[in-house]
Amino acid sequence: MPVKRVPPAEVAILLARGYKYLDVRSIPEFQQGHPQGAYNVPIAHMMPGGRMAPNSDFEAVVAKHFAKDAPVVVGCASGNRSLRAAEMMQALGWTDVVDNSGGMNGWKSAGLPVETAAPGRAYDELK
């Protein structure tokens, strides 16, 4: 079954209904701002020279913090990495995964709330 993709305005409604937001962007991107309440587990890490390397701990860290039946919205910058992560999660058994099709760019454009602090939700604390 394909991953359900929804625009940021609908994501905000899902979050109000109890979904958790999983931001799969790199640590520096997350630190620059993310949806309020977001958890950061990068699908890839930023390497010197700007290239990205897959995060080999992605599945384990996500599993540690999100039950397979937990309602989760996955987001990144534009919707590409998050779709890949949501598809991966679904293939690994997560049953209620939704992709933020507009990513953080769409989130900001929609004027939705952004924060930079994430006590207990930053990747260094989650892993």
pLDDT tens, residue by residue, 78-121:
999 999 999 999 999 999 999 999 999 999 999 999 999 899 99
Question: What tokens were used for 38?
Answer: 């977001």
Residue showing tokens 């919707």:
79
Q: Which amino acid is residue 114, in one-letter code?
A: V
Distance between CA 68 and CA 96 in Å, rounded?
A: 8
86 is catalytic: no
pLDDT band of 19, cuts 50, 70, 90: very high
Q: What is the pTM of this model?
A: 0.96
Percent of the chain with pLDDT over 90: 93
Question: What tokens were used for 16?
Answer: 């109000």
* All domains of the chain in start order, with CATH: 4-126 (3.40.250.10)
Q: Which amino acid is residue 84, in one-letter code?
A: R
Among 76, 83, 98, 118, the one annotated catalytic: 76
- Residue 40's pLDDT is what? 98
- Residue 50's pLDDT is what? 82
Judge whether 55 and 44 are in contact, CB under 8 Å: yes
- Give the phi and the psi of residue 67 in degrees, each rounded to 5: -60, 155
Judge whether 100 and 78 are in contact, CB under 8 Å: no
Distance between CA 92 and CA 10 in Å, rounded?
A: 25
Distance between CA 92 and CA 68 in Å, rounded?
A: 9
